[in-house]
Each structure stands twice: as structure tokens, then as C-alpha cells.
Structure 1
Amino acid sequence: MNHDLNVEDEKRIALSKSKLRLLFVGAVLFVAMGIWMVQLDVADIEAHSRYNNPVMMHGIGVVAILFFGLCAVFGARKLLDNRPGLILNSTGLLDNSSAVAAGFVPWSEVVGFSIFEVQNQKTLVVRVREPGRYIAAGGMFKRILNRMNYKLCGSPVVISANSLKLGFDELLKISQTYLHRYGDK
């Protein structure tokens, strides 16, 4: 997909395979824990003074299997993906950093950046002029996650440095530099 890329002033940020491997292994471990929880005997669960509700324990196990199973699938897909996680150039940014990556976002659409932080994990929020356009992009699962991002962060376009070969502060600095240089002229 060519977006009149200006390769003379282009920053390509690779996906961090080591970070993705850790995320994948963590997801697989949580799936294993979910399977263990689902297989627990009802009598064993009820015998404990704490966490003695079998329906709750089995329900948590099923949710863990489904959620972390999806995380493992998407993690495996990203591990096999050889494209850069993020490209910034004179025309915009091309996000390929996650399962709900926004794709190409032209600088003319970007209003600015903000930071969303949960438990010391920072995420770059790309504030866009027409959030509805990005919420509607992709399949049903991606649309649901984009809508959740919008409600939680104020934008459907969010980029985490967790899957990229750089830290959050560097991601923010590079993004602001490119927006200042090429945004809304």
C-alpha cells in the first residue's frame, strides 16, 4: 500500500520480537491457568474457605481461555509479521503495532497526541478528527475494540510501545516531531 511515502524523511520502527515472545508466552500461561480452573473438581473448589464458588471459578477459567487465547493468536500472528510496527513520514503514520492497528492515518486527520496510563503502562493516544471513521474500520471484533478504545482513551487510534523496538518516551517524541513537521500546514 503506497501512500506517497517520502522515504527521505521516514522513520521505520520495527516490531520487537522479544517483547512479543514474552507477551505470547504470558498469554499461553494464562490459557493454561484457565484450563486448570475449568477442570477443577466442584467438591475441591467448595472445600476451600476462600474462592469456594465453582460457577465463578469455572467462569473465570472460561473467560481466561477465550481472552488470552485470542491474545496468543494475535501475538503469534505478530511474531510472524515482518512488516514494521510503525512508519512515520511526511504523509502520516502507518500503524501495524497491534491486533487493532489503525493502518494509515494521514497527518491531516491527526489533531494531537495524549497519554493514557494504566498501572504505569503508557499508551500513545492519537486524537483524530473523525473518530467514527476509525471505529468503523475492520471486522466486527476490531470495531468492538476500536469502540472500547474510543470510550476509554478518547480515540480509537492508540499505539503501545509494548510491541515496538523502542520505549514509550521515544515513541511520543518521534510522533510529536513528525506531527509538528508535517501536520496541518
Structure 2
Amino acid sequence: MQQLGERVIEVSKTKIWIAVVGALVFVWLGYWLLQLDAAEIEQNRRLDSPVLVHGLGVVTMVFFGLCGVVGLCKLFSTKPGLVLNRDGLLLGAGGLVPWSEIEGFAVFAVNRQRSLVVRLSDPQKYVESGGAIKRVFNRMNYKLVGSPIALASNALAISFDELHALCIAYHQQYLEHAR
């Protein structure tokens, strides 16, 4: 079997730009909700609470504003999105996950959006890694998909099927080396 060399998967700038533009649209929508007059809101039977509508506007602006900022940071970052090599998976923001700690992979799908779940021998080690915000997201991932690490190809310059095949091939080849 031919040895697989290091594979660097870059972040897709096009996909990130699309996400940033989408985030800006939602920030504008949140701003529009904030600008609605209370009397106008109360006249509409579906949205009769100005507090609810304005609160939704604030939440929308904050959440998608943060998404836009993260997207812009990724656009100007020189870090690769993912690196696969003989040592393991080098995550763009999460450090190295050695092959010896990876038990396998599973696919998690929601509305035709797939993520590659990295099944770990000691998930708690990764749930509690990183800063406070990172740990919150790790816990959320763990509760949702059973692992703190789930790889989506949304922001990567690779298709999901390619990502899945590469991870399995590298894992199979280097698992024995890692033990």
C-alpha cells in the first residue's frame, strides 16, 4: 500500500464569503425588526408583542454579527482548515487529534447537511479542552452528536464525500503506526 503523505485542506474562501454575506443579510433583518414601530407590531396578529419582535431583532443581530466576525477572521487567516498526516488530524482551531485516540467516524446529517463525527476513545479529554467558549461548543457537540469533534466540509475546499474518504483512508493506514 502506498504511504499517504501529509494532506493540507485549505479553507474555501468562496464558501466563507457566502456565509459572511448571509450573516450580513440576517444582521440587516435583525436591524429591520428593531426599527418596527410598536403600534405597527401590535396591529399584526401574528407578531403582537413589540418586546418579542425587538428581542428577536437583537438576538438575530448579535448571533449573526458574531457569525460574520468569525467568518471574516477565517477569511484573513493563513491557517489551513484541516491537516491529515501520519500523526493524526490537525484541526484548524483545535490542535492535533492522534490516530490512536480515534476509534472511527460516523456521519451526522440534518436537512441534507452532513458532518463527519470523529468517534474518540476519551471524548471527555476533548470536551474539556480549549478556552471557555470552545468548551461550551465542545459540550454542545458532544450532547448533539456524541463527540466533541464533528467536521463539516462547509468551510473547507473539499466535498464532504472526499473528506469522509480521506479521513477513513488515513485512519486505516496510520492507526497501526500510532499504536
TM-score range, shorter chain: over 0.9
TM-score under structure 2 normalisation? 0.93
**Count of paired positions:** 175
The 2-side partners of 1:103 and 1:28 are apart by 30
1:146 aligns with 2:138: yes
Q: Partner of 2:97 in structure 1?
A: 105
1:137 aligns with 2:157: no
Q: SS in structure 2 opposite 1:164? A: coil
Amino acid of the structure 2 residue aligned with 1:70: L
The 2-side partners of 1:162 and 1:45 are apart by 37
Query: 4+ residue stretches of structure 1 with deviation over 3 A?
Result: none
Out of 68, 72, 78, the residue aligned to residue 76 of structure 1 is: 72
RMSD in angstroms over aligned alpha carbons?
1.5
Out of 23, 36, 59, the residue aligned to residue 27 of structure 1 is: 23
The 2-side partners of 1:133 and 1:39 are apart by 46
Q: Is the 8 A contact 2:31 2:57 kept in 1?
A: yes
Q: Partner of 1:3 in structure 2?
A: none
Structure 1 residues 29-178: aligned runs within 5 Å: 29-96=25-92, 101-178=93-170
1:21-66 CA-to-partner distances (Å, cap 9, x unmatched) read 0001111111111111122111111111222221221121111112
How many percent identity over aligned positions?
A: 47
Amino acid of the structure 2 residue aligned with 1:168: F
Q: SS in structure 2 opposite 1:162? A: coil
TM-score under structure 1 normalisation? 0.90
The 2-side partners of 1:124 and 1:8 are apart by 20
The 2-side partners of 1:54 and 1:139 are apart by 37
1:124-170 CA-to-partner distances (Å, cap 9, x unmatched) read 11111111111112221111111000000100011110000111011
Q: CA offset at residue 102 of structure 1? A: 2.5
**Which 5+ residue runs of structure 1 have no aligned equivalent?**
1-6
**Which 5+ residue runs of structure 2 have no aligned equivalent?**
none
The 1-side partners of 2:135 and 2:36 are apart by 35
Q: Is the 8 A contact 2:94 2:130 kept in 1?
A: no
1:107-128 CA-to-partner distances (Å, cap 9, x unmatched) read 0110110011111000011111
The 1-side partners of 2:145 and 2:129 are apart by 17
The 2-side partners of 1:143 and 1:93 are apart by 19
Amino acid of the structure 2 residue aligned with 1:62: V
Out of 14, 17, 20, the residue aligned to residue 10 of structure 2 is: 14
1:77-101 CA-to-partner distances (Å, cap 9, x unmatched) read 10011221110011001111xxxx4
Q: Is the 8 A contact 2:4 2:170 kept in 1?
A: no
